Structure 1
Amino acid sequence: MTASPKRPLALVTGASSGMGAAFARAYAARGHDLCLTARRLDRLEALAAELSAAHGIEAFAVPADLGGFEAERPILDAIAARGRHVDVLVNNAGFSIPQSFAATPWLRQRDFLMTLVVAPCALAHAVIPGMVERGGGKIINVASLAGFAPGAAGHSLYPGAKSLMIKFSQALDAEYRAKGVAVTAVCPGFTRTGFAEANDTQHLMDEAPRMFWQSAETVVETAIRANELGRVVVIPGWHNQLAAALLHYLPQGLVAAAVRRGSAKYHLGD
């Protein structure tokens, strides 16, 4: 399918399933062309074909492991080779490590940081100049409610990485809002995706009350609407907003103790 210069291009990382696939579907429905990237090429190609047929847009897949050095380069090169530029960047790719920090090989911890911190920053750094030159663009960084919480045993780097995405989004907004770039950090709580299956904690997540879970589609629509309205940090769901307020306003000693108790069952130990 021939790309139309009138259609904006959305680059979605971690697009093979879960929230990434939901972002892809949402932007395809809005008439965006898509660059879908993740490690599983077969899933990406199937989704690209589905969305191209359903919405009359161009969708193409670029397999990439964002845990690698300069992993963003093949993605950006593939986009440039098509004569395209990124109008919307969705930094969604991620995973978590439920084991203790030192019990996990450093290469795995390094891959975590590359995927959740370095790659999103590198992609933003690459696409922002073009967005500024064209007078507009959109960036959505998928953070987490955990970004407001203190650290606890297990998932050692996760709260810090997600907190960085929140602060990073705020900094980009301060620097580039006046130049037409809308930046949003979305901070979901429990969301129905394949995230927990990937780190072997699905059986534990299944014990959480159903009322506290949201669908990936709900989170994605909240994020896109917030970005379109110029909101920098958005927390989907009243229950998550209440939790974030408690994390902020309650005495930090009490918060830390509560988080440690609550998160203990999600720590798979050494």
Structure 2
Amino acid sequence: MTRRALVTGATSGIGHSFAQALAADGHDVVIVARTTDRLQQVAEQLRSEHGVEVDVVVADLATTDGMDRVALRLTDSARPVDLLVNNAGASLAGWFGTTAIEDEDRQLDLLVRAPMHLMDAAIKAMAGRGGGAIINVASVAAFTPRGVYSAHKAWLLNLSRWADVHYDDVNIAVQALCPGFVRTEFHQRGEMDVSGVPGWMWLTSDFVVRESLKDLARDKPLSIPGRRYRCLVMLTRFLPTSLVTRMARRGR
């Protein structure tokens, strides 16, 4: 049986590492991003290195048209997707209350509305043909009071945990992937100052993806790559909220 994965935000960072790892494991892949040229480059690379089929979907997931285009691909019964990776994301450099509300609306669409729509399409398609899996890329920020970005990720974490339990009877696994700081283009694109983040806190996207896929194979609904971050998340459950908030101000 052909395995096929759809990965959003697949041209760089965690999304690109997911596309690489899944193609290397024999998955055909559907890669989604806003930039046609970069998508085509990644598609050619995956085809030549791994000999898999690669479909390209150009879509801005902060728009209704982009969400609908990807949702339609998820429901294509002729080329079914058995793994959805909701990875596309971005952040703003400023804190809520200082940013333009229009920018916050776009972030809400990208980080909450888009994964909700794609999960909805994937669940309905997968339930009708015997199951599948969804990986939602959240963040350790979901466990801390850290502005709008952490609120979006906390929403995604909560929905993922519920969906994993609720849809277990139709063989759909849902994982919330919660990495810490990862060396990608994410912070640079958001013009965020991360100079105060110590070196030991940084992870590579390849490591994050390896840990996520291992945890998915073990049917673990929550993946927090790296022992250091698992310890930090555990601490957030016991430390006073005021202290956790001060700690969370370092970097973005």
| TM bracket (short chain) | over 0.9
**Structure 1, 68-77 or 134-143: larger mean CA deviation:** 68-77
Structure 1 length as normaliser, TM-score?
Answer: 0.88
Cα shift readout 1:93-144 (whole Å, capped 9, x = no counterpart): 0011121323322221111011110010100101112211221201000010
RMSD, matched Cα: 1.7
Match of 1:168 among 143, 146, 159: 159
Identity %: 37
The answer for unaligned runs of 5 or more in structure 1 is 1-5
For the structure 1 residues 69 and 242, does the alpha-carbon distance in structure 2 shift closer, same or farther, using more than 3 Å as the test? same
Distance 2:178 2:246 in 1: 22
Please name the residue that 2:170 is paired with. 179
3-state DSSP of counterpart to 2:32: strand
User: Are the structure 2 counterparts of residues 82 and 62 from structure 1 closer, same or farther at C-alpha, using a change threshold of 3 Å?
Assistant: farther
Partner residue in 2 for 1:33: 28
What is aligned with 1:148? Answer: 143
Aligned counterparts of 1:157 and 1:216: Cα–Cα separation in 2: 23
1:68 aligns with 2:63: yes
* Bigger shift: residues 16-25 or 129-138: 129-138
- Greater Cα shift, 39-48 or 62-71: 62-71
Q: Which residue of 2 aligns with 1:229?
A: 218
Q: Do 2:75 and 2:122's aligned partners in 1 also have CA atoms closer than 8 Å?
A: no
Counterpart of 2:52 in 1: which secondary structure?
coil
Trace 1:4-43 onto structure 2 (pairs within 5 A): 6-43=1-38
Alignment partner of 1:240 is 2:229: yes
Aligned equivalents of 1:79, 1:91: Cα separation in 2: 12
Displacement, 1:148? 0.1
2:122: which partner in 1?
A: 127
What SS does the aligned partner of 2:2 have? coil
Give the greater-gyration-radius structure (CA). Answer: 1
Moved more, 98-107 or 36-45: 98-107
- What residue in structure 2 maps to residue 84 of structure 1? 79
| Structure 1 contact 67–110 (Cα < 8 Å) conserved | no
Is the contact between residue 247 and residue 255 of structure 1 (CA under 8 Å) also seen in structure 2? yes
Which of 253, 258, 267 aligns to 2:247? It is: 258
- Give the conservation status (yes or no) of the 8 Å contact 2:84–2:134: yes
Distance 1:80-1:122 versus aligned 2 partners, 3 A rule: closer
Whether contact under 8 Å (1:35, 1:79) holds in the other structure is: no
| Distance (whole Å) between structure 1 residues aligned to residue 226 and residue 142 of structure 2 | 16
1:95 matched to 2:90? The reply is yes
Is 1:210 the counterpart of 2:205? The answer is no
